[in-house]
Structure 1
Amino acid sequence: MAQDPEPDLRGLITARRAELEVQAEKLSQQLQEVRDELEELAVAERVARRLAEQVRTEAERTATGPAGQVAGRAVLAVPPRERGMDEAVLPADYQRIMEVERRADGPVMVKQVCGELGIASAPARSEAMRAKLNQLVERGWLRKLVDGKFTTTL
């Protein structure tokens, strides 16, 4: 008597369906993990963009110097140096930087200025000091040498 091939076929189909359902579940989990990571990357990208914009804005503000008001007119906190102009026109923190420069035996490095003023040598602090020194260079109060050191223009 011949055996009915249909029951064997049903068993194979059922087994294959179970394998595919397990594989589909694994793929579904992997897809969800990929989607979660894509969302995390999108959030990280937005945060990085915001931080970059803040840094850019702060750099622009530092480069142009904080503006103040004198007689209702906007003026730069660090004015361009003109002949006969005294350091007294500079804000107090810039006057202290100029004092360190004058007392030095020669050109100074950023870390020397920080040390003389009692400012921590952490990168954020030294970069803020470098920005101030560069601003004094841009406005004609100091010179920056090729080795990165700063000196008075006198």
Structure 2
Amino acid sequence: MVSLPEELQAREAAARQRVEELQAEAVEMAARLERARADLSRLEIRRETVMEVLAELSAADVAPEVEAHDAPEPRETPAPHGIGVMAVPPWREGLAGVLPDVYRDIVEIVADAPGPLQAKQIVPRIGLEATTAKIEGTRGKLKRLVERGWLDENMPGRFTLARHAGDAGHVNSR
């Protein structure tokens, strides 16, 4: 017959071994998680870069045609090289489709709103947590859209859809 202290020691040794096995699994899972996060980050950066390049190329393709008698003298334009790519082109009629998804979503939300919106009101509508960092990041995007003529900021921090000559309504592209 086994004594009680010996039985408790055996159970303790088995529990200790199980803990060590689980710790080893946790270390392996943490390493796998870190690799997966790195892969995700690289894919996000690639997608964002492709969207920026496509937006620039689309903006160049949709450039308004100038009548021959108004045309300035031809100049050589450098080939696009990806450095300094403009993700948000200046507003021009028919360009809503070239905006990156998050910017297009912001423009659509502002266009559908009955009045001016603040960044903190837009953040949850584009699917982000209402944290200070997300609100400030969105505010930067809103300011960029104002600079490029997509939105207006008539009152500080309150954004509306920019009105352009000939606007018939919303800029929705979907």
> Over the residues paired in the alignment, what is the CA RMSD in angstroms?
2.1
2:148 equivalent to 1:139: yes
2:117 equivalent to 1:91: no
Return the offset for 1:85. 3.1
Larger Cα Rg: Structure 1 or Structure 2?
1
**Secondary structure of the equivalent of 2:155?**
coil
Structure 1: which 5+ runs fail to align? 1-65
TM-score (norm 2): 0.46
Aligned residues of 2:109 and 2:125 also touching (Cα < 8 A): yes
Residue matched to 1:78: 88
Residue matched to 2:135: 126
Return the offset for 1:111. 0.9
Return the offset for 1:91. 0.8
> Which segments of structure 1 move beyond 4 Å, counting only runs of 4 or more?
none
Q: Which has the larger share of helix?
A: 1
Cα distance in 2 for residues equivalent to 1:151 and 1:121? 20
Residue pairs, 1:4-19, within 5 angstroms = none
**Secondary structure of the equivalent of 1:76?**
coil
**Secondary structure of the equivalent of 2:134?**
helix
Give, as a single letter, the amino acid of the residue that structure 2 aligns with 1:89.
V
Structure 2: which 5+ runs fail to align? 1-50, 61-78, 164-174
Aligned residues of 2:96 and 2:104 also touching (Cα < 8 A): yes
TM-score (norm 1): 0.52
Cα distance in 2 for residues equivalent to 1:134 and 1:120? 20
How many pairs were matched up?
A: 88
Cα distance in 2 for residues equivalent to 1:147 and 1:141? 16
